[in-house]
Structure formats: structure tokens, C-alpha cells
Structure 1
Amino acid sequence: MNYQVPPTSTLHQMPPSQVAFHRTELSVILSLYGRFVAAGEWRDYGISCLKDVAVFSVFRRTAETPLYRIEKRPRLRDKQGMYAVVGMDGQIIRRGHDLKKVLRVLERKLIRAVE
């Protein structure tokens, strides 16, 4: 009978941490999402929690590419701000430190859509 001890490097490693949205951040995002759904502009969303970034993707239809991505990157907290709204083409529309201020760029589009 052979008994093998696993390498010590795997014994003490912690699983990689994930970046996720906090409950208060999600409530702000879902409030905006609900208003766009009521206006008939958005129909689906997806949330991805990865190692370096958390992404809230908004879709017009389920099978499409996302219209907008709301990203949270904690590593950029001290630099440009950890929140960003990214367009369909990958261009950063707005970036900042305060989520509500960053999402104002989308609220302006809601006002135009309702009129």
C-alpha cells in the first residue's frame, strides 16, 4: 500500500476570491433595470462574478450581445474609479467612484425613451 502526501503548495492555498456586487449596489442596478424593463427597452440580464471583475450585462433580447455592461473592478478603486458602464462595442461610456453617478448616463437614455 502506497500513501502519497499531496504537495504542500496546494494544502495551504486559499481558493481564488471572486469580485461580486454588494446588496446595496445590486439594488441600485436592479432599480434602474426595472425602469428600463417597464419602458420596454431591456428584457434580460446576466451577472458574472469573476476573479478581477463583477459584470452586470443588460440585453435587449436573450440571444444578443449585451447592450451595456456595468462593471465593478476593485483594483481601479484608487485610480479611475471601480465602476464603469461599457457599451456594446466595448467603449467605456462612463467611469467613476460612485455607482449612482456612473449610472446617470443610462438614466438620461431612459428619459428620452419614454418621451
Structure 2
Amino acid sequence: MPRPRKWRRVCCLPDNTDFGPLNSNGENKDFIIMTVDEYETIRLIDLEGLTQEECSIQMNIARTTVQRIYNEARIKLADSLVNGRILKIEGGDYELCHGAGKYCGRGRCCRGRREDRSGKEG
């Protein structure tokens, strides 16, 4: 029996979940699904500048798992950009953080930023 998948800690869900070419009429059924945890690795490593080790601590998973998720996410991003396919962010094995992680107080957790912007939890 396979080992159960570990839930990946994610700070918040993305504001926008559909991306693609501007000339798309939305009827294109040829789209790519990026999971929320793949989105989170891109956000933490590429946008926030965390190392894979720091990302693994934030997401509460092994560094090798972060590396695999990150590589899969980059392939999906490249496919969308190069081939003009619509990218949708949805699904995955994740849980939202509670703002108490190691990096949550250092500006890397978007949960606090959303609360500051809107006055409520995002």
C-alpha cells in the first residue's frame, strides 16, 4: 500500500487562477493545470527568493519534494508561454497556513499582506 501524500502548506490561494494569450476567446479546451502547491513553489522560490531548503521548511515537505514540484511547475509555465496554452491554477494536496510559519513574519507569507490590503483575511 502506498504511503499517503503529505499535505503541503500554502500561504494563500492566488487572486487570479486563469492565464493565457490575450487573443484567446476562452473556448480553447487545450489548457494546462498547475496545482496550488506548484504555484506556491514558484512564488516562494522565484518571487520571494527562498532557497529550495527554505521553501521546504515553509511548505512542511522534503527539499527533494520541493525540487520535483518546482521542476514540474516550470515545465508547465514554459509550455503555456511558448505554446500559447491557457494555464489554470487549481487542485493539489495542500492546506492553508495559519500565519505562524518560520517565514510568515518576514514578509514572505502572502496571508498577512492580503489581510493588510483588504482589512480581512484573504
Q: Which of the two has greater strand per residue?
A: 1
TM range (shorter): under 0.3
Q: Which of the two has greater helix per residue?
A: 2
Structure with more relative contact order (C-alpha pairs < 8 Å, separation 6 or more): 2
* TM-score with structure 1 setting the length: 0.27
Greater radius of gyration (CA):
1
